[in-house]
Amino acid sequence: MAVRPTAGPVPVSVAAGPEAWASSQELRARPELEVATSPRHATVLVVAGPLPDGDREALDRTHDQLPHPRASVAWDPGTAVGEVVAAVVAADAELRRRPGEASEPDRLPDVDPNPWRGQGPHGQGGEGMMGGTPYGRAMAMTDEDRDGLALDALTVTLGPFLDPLPGGLRLEATLQGDVLTAAALRHPGLAIPAAGGAAAARRGLQWLAHALHVHGLGGHAARAAALAAELGRGADGATRASVEASLARLCRRLGRTGLWWTLAGQGELEGQGDARRRWEEALDGIAAHLSGQRAGRGADPGGGGGGAGRETGRVDPVDPVDPVDLEALGAALVGRTLDEAVVTITSLGLGTLRPVPAAREARR
């Protein structure tokens, strides 16, 4: 352990751009840190760049959500994890020494996004009951829905730094209760280098760490992140064999968590089965990359008895062969609950970070 924690693990919130998102998951392995699920829970904001220009405002908003005392640490590409952890711990120590002065001020003015436009203290004098600006503040309008109840619809944009979603992904969801009635996914797109072997396996383990965290298995997530970090330190045959053995042990542990049961039947997508099948394919893929059975992009997965659609619609979460069509995925999420949408997106692995280019062209 490079830095000895003196005040317990430092809660950090990670705002990661598409390129750094996967590798930032290795922070989950560090006992000096606690990767928070919400910026409100964090003391230090780790900004893992580079960020697309369009995410600047979202970054500032995320920053302003951290409670005082707070600090932020930039993680430039190429900087080792250890150095970032040291910087976070140092920033936290500084905050504890001088909580008042060291804490960072807001980056954006604290203004009401929907300012009060009524006349008079109680909004008397507004116009209309539905639509317009009744009594000064727009109200939700009713909309068609799954159960035919025509409830109020609410449109929110989740991301690009929402913890359960992959870095840079925006989910624009129209919700009735927690059921999505419309969904659009946007991602700037990421060129994942075509690679097999240890590099792909490492990315797969980074995905696994995040995915386990989303399913409430924080301890197991730390283990997966530690395996990814181990591969990062050296990719020789002995390390790969030891990581493969550890992964097999982790999979056996996962069998006792009920994870497979909770995944079964969730996130069904046409031609791609349910979330459980995609998870199993992902874990097989990581193991195959580790043992060198899978060379790189486009290789046949082999083994496991291919189900219908495996050849055409296979989504390898580790090393995405077919990029995910975000438009079709958004349409497929309609009618599901918000949590199932998250489970579905998670089960697609890093594929959502590499959307079909045509989908983006069409939207512009």
Partner 1 sequence: MSSGAAADVAFVAFALVAVAAGYRVFRTDSMVRATFLLLASFLAVGAILVLLAAEYLGTALLFMMTVEMVVMALFMVMFMMNPAGLNPMAMVHQPRLAAGAGVAAGVALAGVAVVADFPDAPVAGSAGAVAALGAELLGPSMLVFESAGITLLATMVCAVVLSASRGRYGPTHDGSVAPPLDPGGDHRPTDDLVEPGGGGHGHHGSHS
Partner 2 sequence: MTLATVLVAAAALVGIGLWGALGQQSFVMLLMGIELMVNGIILAAGGLWAFAAGGVPTGQVLVIVAMLVMAVEMAVGFALVVAVYRARGADTTEGIGSLRG
Partner 3 sequence: MTAARQLHPVPAVALVGAVLGIGSYLVAVTRAGVTARVAGQRLGLAAITVAPLRRARRLLGQQVTTTERPDSATWVLAPAAYAGLAALALSVVPLGPGTAVADVDTGIVVFGAAEVLAVVAFYLHGWSPNSPLALAAGYRHVAAALSYALLSMFVLIAAALPAQSLGIGAIVDSQAGLWNVLRQPLGLPLLLVVALGVTASGPLDLLDGTDLAGGGGAEDSGVQRLAWEGARAVMLVAFAAGAAAVFLGGWHGPLLPGWAWMALKTAAVAGLLVVVQVQGARVSAERFVAVSWTVLLPLAFLDLLAAGVVAL
Chain residues binding partner 2 by CB under 8 A are: 142, 148-150
Q: What is the DSSP letter of 154?
A: E
Which residue has tokens 């909580």?
99
- Sites of contact with partner 3 (CB under 8 A): 5, 7-8, 11, 31, 36-38, 40-41, 43, 65, 67-69, 99, 112-114, 154, 156, 158, 162-164, 175, 177-178, 213-223, 226, 253, 256-259, 262, 265-266, 337-340, 342-343
Least distance in angstroms from the C-beta of 8 to partner 3: 3
Q: Which does 136 bind (CB under 5 to 8 A by kind): partner 2, partner 3, partner 1, none?
A: partner 1
Q: Which does 170 bind (CB under 5 to 8 A by kind): partner 2, partner 3, partner 1, none?
A: none
Longest dimension (CA), the chain: 76
Do the beta carbons of residue 155 and residue 163 sit within 8 Å? no
Q: Which does 135 bind (CB under 5 to 8 A by kind): partner 1, partner 2, partner 3, none?
A: partner 1
Q: What is the DSSP letter of 54?
A: G
272-297 burial by CB neighbour count: b if 16+ within 10 A, else e?
Answer: bbbbbbbbebbbbbbbbbbeeebeee
Q: Which does 140 bind (CB under 5 to 8 A by kind): partner 3, partner 1, partner 2, none?
A: partner 1
- Subset of residues 114 to 173 that bind partner 1, contact rule: CB under 8 A: 122-123, 126, 129-130, 134-137, 139-140, 144, 146-152
Least distance in angstroms from the C-beta of 74 to partner 3: 23
Give the C-alpha separation, 276 to 210, whole Å. 16
Q: DSSP letters of 216-269? A: T-HHHHHHHHHHHHHHHH--SHHHHHHHHHHHHHHHHHHHTTTHHHHHTTSS-B
Q: Which does 239 bind (CB under 5 to 8 A by kind): partner 1, partner 3, partner 2, none?
A: none
Q: What angle do CA 125, 131, 135 make, to 5 degrees?
A: 25
- Is 16 strand, coil or helix? strand
Q: CB nearer to partner 2: give 2 or 150.
A: 150
Give the C-alpha separation, 113 to 135, whole Å. 16
User: Any bridge partners for residue 157, and if so which?
Assistant: 172
Q: CB nearer to partner 3: give 195 or 251.
A: 251
Least distance in angstroms from the C-beta of 162 to partner 3: 5
Q: Which residues bind partner 1 (CB under 8 A)?
A: 122-123, 126, 129-130, 134-137, 139-140, 144, 146-152, 177
